Amino acid sequence: APCAAQDLAKTAGKNAKVLIDNEKVRVIELQMAPGAKTGMHSHGDNLVVFVTGGDATQTMADGTTKTMSRKPGEVLWSGPVTHDTVNTSKTAIRSLVIELK
């Protein structure tokens, strides 16, 4: 069955904290320990800001994967997407996921 649009704030459990949720944006802080996974989830238009950097692997809804390495202060724009992200670094990764409404 196609993956239902899962909410990151739920799939990532205690690793996710909603910092801002108003009529225009929702901002989720993700604190991912080494090996932690977000769980498969979907976003609409969004930005991700890396407060601390690190390496991660993303699995897309179609099963394809991509590895990435992010630096502190890096910011990425993305249109609607469904993916699962695992922290493959030896240190925690802290990021802010900014969802546009």
Contact residues: a second copy, CB under 8 A: 19-20, 22, 24-25, 27, 29, 45, 47, 49, 51, 72-73, 75, 77, 94, 96, 98, 100
Type of residue found at 4: A
Q: For residue 66, give the nearest of 52, 80, 85 by alpha carbon.
A: 85
Q: Virtual CA dihedral for 13, 14, 16, 20, nearest 10 degrees?
A: 110
Shortest distance, position 51 Cβ to a second copy, whole Å? 4
**Closer by beta carbon to a second copy, 38 or else 95:** 95
Output the smallest distance, CB 25 to a second copy, in A: 7
Rounded (5°) CA angle 21-45-42: 80
Question: Do 97 and 25 form a contact (C-beta atoms < 8 A)?
Answer: no
Report the residue number, 61 or 100, with the smaller CB distance to a second copy. 100
How far apart are alpha carbons 89 and 56 in whole angstroms?
7
Q: Which is nearer to a second copy, 23 or 62 (CB)?
A: 23
Q: Which is nearer to a second copy, 3 or 27 (CB)?
A: 27
Minimal distance in Å, beta carbon 52 to a second copy?
Answer: 8
